Amino acid sequence: MSSHRLTILIVDDTPTNAKQLEAVAHKLGHATILAGNGEEAVAKFQSGKPDLVIMDIMMPVMDGITAVQHIRALPSEKWTPIIFFSALDQMQDIVRGLEVGGDDYIVKPASLQILRAKINSYARVLSLQQEAQTNAAELRNWRLDAEEQSRLGAHVMARLTDAAGLRDPMIRHFNMPADTFSGDLLCAARAPGEVLNVLLADATGHGLAAALTAMPLTQAFYSMTTKGFPLPSIAEELNRKLKAILPSDRFVAATLASIDVRNHTVEVWNGGNPNALFINAHGEVSMQWASAHPPLGILPDKLFSGVTEMVVFHEAGDLVLCSDGLTEAEDPDGAWLGIQGVRDCLASSNDSDQRFTSLLGGVEAHLAGHAGRDDISAMLVSIPIDRRFLPRFDTLTHAHHGHISEWRMDLSFGAQELRYIDVVPAVLGFVTQVHALKPHQGSLFLIFSELFNNALDHGLLGLGSATKNWIGGFEQYLQQRSERLNGLRQGRIDISFLLHQEETRALLDISMTDTGLGFDFEQIQNNTATLRAENQMAFGRGIALVKKLCEQVVYSGSGNKVWARYLVSDQIIEDDDNGPARTDPAGNTGSELF
């Protein structure tokens, strides 16, 4: 019946009985150990580790009941069934035998058939039990293995997604995973020129698979942000990346936001996340951005839309982004926190810190100690109203080690290319490869983007900057800009960079010429002086910023040509060994803008 080969300990003081049992066992294919009394049985049980014990009761030296009590007291890793085989046939004998740890009781004399059947039956049970034990051991190993992998994975994931940008003083955030890994991903980084970009992404499901799904977003987000790419281009690239690697039933809901404190704008792309909220000083939701797109990773490139919604803010407040894990957080009765619950938490305080604490406390209270079903994350960005006319950062010049050889680059963009190329980050990405210019990335971004945007917006697109100055004007301006850019069929912008050395000074000259009508630069320059104090005039503000950062700015032609000189270093130290330029502290300008 069973192919499971057992070792059976047979305990009987009558050799004939023992031999008879042994013969039965052998015939069934099992091995045997013989013992002539209880004491011997305990010793052989320990040394021989039998699978099954057949125990007589009345024996010299130590009886079977005492022997079983000893055996059951031994530490043991497996269950060994014991069958009493005794001539004692009273009810109390049988009960006592089972009470001290016997599993079965056969009264002597018994037929060989009964004995065979019992042995076979226990062989089956033992075989099942061993299988269960093997499975349990395997399961335990799997679990230990999985825990170890989880631990390692969580460590690596934490490093990969560790966003130094999230430690920005403007940002508060939490991410409560439903599992070891969170499928919610939060990122923040500074773009060159005072702009803060943030991302809150929520991958389908939760746990490791979801975390892996969201991973590819981090690198693209950081590298494109630090290079100054606009939000729609970042959204398109994130979508392209995910579409290429995810199976068709996986996607990532995401909110991307770009906060420009200098220009008082918040730009949002929301695909599949709950509304992004702007909470003003009174705790009211004064603006919100509903999901306007399907999540990332679903649509092919040509159907995807990176169109963002940009608004101008006129008051300080907190921008709040969250995943649906927050709005769908359930209390013990299964009721959702809801967007209203989130708004109530946020309305309870006027201060960013307390508001954040109130939101976190609110979710925890709602969950009432239970874990969320889904990953729960939120990010709160405190947005100040900045009345400064110019960014608060020093145009420190610093020593440059080594000779600067002349470097120049001339570029010319026609209408066709201007419609789709992100000229500013593309060109600056190249320019800042030059070692001497790298530490100046932040300033160069501000200068170049102002000059280029003037040339494009006011020169080629003929947009007047006056509209920017009244409430709602900026939105209208952006609308017009996008329409005119799409319709741009002629025109050209020429750009030229020249890095050169004059005695001990390193200089970068930037010139730009557009084929537009130009503008009355003398009048703008005069007006700038009067409007400066009120921080009202967007266009004049741009030129004034460039003037502040550059040594010289000269407009010529009809206002369609501009030349700017930027001081890279006034202290060139020509080292003998021509060694690499040392890292300069001013290279951090970008992170000290606020």
Partner 1 sequence: MLIANDVNGDRATLKLGGRFDFHSHRDFRSAYEQHLVKAGVREIIIDFGDVDYLDSSALGMLLLLREKCDAAGRSVALSGLKGTVKQVLDIANFGKLFRIQA
Q: How far apart are CA 103 and CA 118, in angstroms?
A: 11
Q: Between 270 and 432, name the residue whose CB sits nearer to partner 1.
A: 270
Q: How far is CA 431 from the centre of its chain?
A: 31
Q: Write down the least CB distance from residue 204 to partner 1, Å.
A: 5
Q: Between 40 and 236, name the residue whose CB sits nearer to partner 1.
A: 236
- When binding is defined by CB under 8 A, the residue of 236, 324, 450, 514 that contacts partner 1 is 324
Q: How far apart are CA 140 and CA 339, in angstroms?
A: 42
User: Is there a contact between 358 and 345 (Cβ–Cβ < 8 Å)?
Assistant: yes
> Interacting stretch for partner 1, rule CB under 8 A, among 173-181, 215-223, 286-294, 545-553?
286-294
How many CB atoms sit inside 10 A of residue 523's CB?
A: 10
Q: Write down the least CB distance from residue 272 to partner 1, Å.
A: 5
Q: How far apart are CA 440 and CA 505, in angstroms?
A: 15
- When binding is defined by CB under 8 A, the residue of 182, 197, 273, 589 that contacts partner 1 is 273
User: Is there a contact between 514 and 452 (Cβ–Cβ < 8 Å)?
Assistant: no
Q: How far is CA 391 from the centre of its chain?
A: 31
Q: How far apart are CA 154 and CA 159, in angstroms?
A: 9
Q: Which of residues 243-272 bind partner 1 (CB under 8 A)?
A: 248-251, 253, 271-272
Reported as type and span, the H/E element at residue 359 is: helix 352-367
| Per-residue contact flags (x/-) with partner 1 for residues 151 to 190, judged by CB under 8 A | ----------------------------------------
Q: Write down the least CB distance from residue 379 to partner 1, Å.
A: 18
Q: How far apart are CA 271 and CA 298, in angstroms?
A: 11
Q: Write down the least CB distance from residue 436 to partner 1, Å.
A: 47
- When binding is defined by CB under 8 A, the residue of 161, 204, 258, 443 that contacts partner 1 is 204
Q: Between 330 and 592, name the residue whose CB sits nearer to partner 1.
A: 330
DSSP state of 588: G
Residues in CB range of 566: below 8 A, 6 or more apart: 440, 443, 444, 447, 507, 508, 509, 510, 549, 550, 551
Q: Between 271 and 559, name the residue whose CB sits nearer to partner 1.
A: 271
DSSP three-state, residue 435: coil
Q: Write down the least CB distance from residue 249 to partner 1, Å.
A: 3
Q: Write down the least CB distance from residue 291 to partner 1, Å.
A: 5
Q: Between 333 and 503, name the residue whose CB sits nearer to partner 1.
A: 333
Q: How many residues does the chain have?
A: 594
User: Is there a contact between 536 and 264 (Cβ–Cβ < 8 Å)?
Assistant: no
Q: Between 335 and 409, name the residue whose CB sits nearer to partner 1.
A: 335
Query: Which residue in 485, 431, 497 sits closest to 456, CA to CA?
Result: 485
C-alpha torsion sign, points 502, 504, 506, 509:
negative
Q: Write down the least CB distance from residue 174 to partner 1, Å.
A: 20
Q: Write down the least CB distance from residue 419 to partner 1, Å.
A: 24
Q: Write down the least CB distance from residue 32 to partner 1, Å.
A: 52
Residues in CB range of 196: below 8 A, 6 or more apart: 168, 170, 188, 189, 190, 258, 259, 261, 381
- When binding is defined by CB under 8 A, the residue of 36, 101, 153, 205 that contacts partner 1 is 205
The C-alpha angle with vertex 243 and arms to 241 and 244, in degrees rounded to 5, equals 65
Q: Between 31 and 299, name the residue whose CB sits nearer to partner 1.
A: 299
User: Is there a contact between 127 and 4 (Cβ–Cβ < 8 Å)?
Assistant: yes
Q: Between 273 and 377, name the residue whose CB sits nearer to partner 1.
A: 273
- When binding is defined by CB under 8 A, the residue of 64, 228, 274, 542 that contacts partner 1 is 274
Q: Write down the least CB distance from residue 479 to partner 1, Å.
A: 21
Query: Which residue in 483, 422, 419 sits closest to 449, CA to CA?
Result: 422
**C-alpha to C-alpha distances, 206 to 219, 356, 509, 535, nearest whole angstrom:** 21, 24, 52, 47
DSSP state of 371: P
Q: Write down the least CB distance from residue 47 to partner 1, Å.
A: 53
Q: Write down the least CB distance from residue 25 to partner 1, Å.
A: 49
Q: Which of residues 292-311 bind partner 1 (CB under 8 A)?
A: 292-295, 298-299
Q: Between 289 and 477, name the residue whose CB sits nearer to partner 1.
A: 289
Q: Between 11 and 203, name the residue whose CB sits nearer to partner 1.
A: 203
User: Is there a contact between 48 and 73 (Cβ–Cβ < 8 Å)?
Assistant: no
Q: Which of residues 211-230 bind partner 1 (CB under 8 A)?
A: none
Q: Which of residues 369-388 bind partner 1 (CB under 8 A)?
A: 374
Q: How far apart are CA 48 and CA 95, in angstroms?
A: 28
Q: Between 152 and 290, name the residue whose CB sits nearer to partner 1.
A: 290
> Interacting stretch for partner 1, rule CB under 8 A, among 147-155, 288-296, 466-474, 528-536?
288-296
Residues in CB range of 46: below 8 A, 6 or more apart: 74
Q: Between 101 and 205, name the residue whose CB sits nearer to partner 1.
A: 205
How many residues touch partner 1 under the rule CB under 8 A: the total is: 22
Residues in contact with partner 1 by CB under 8 A are 202, 204-205, 248-251, 253, 271-274, 290-295, 298-299, 324, 374
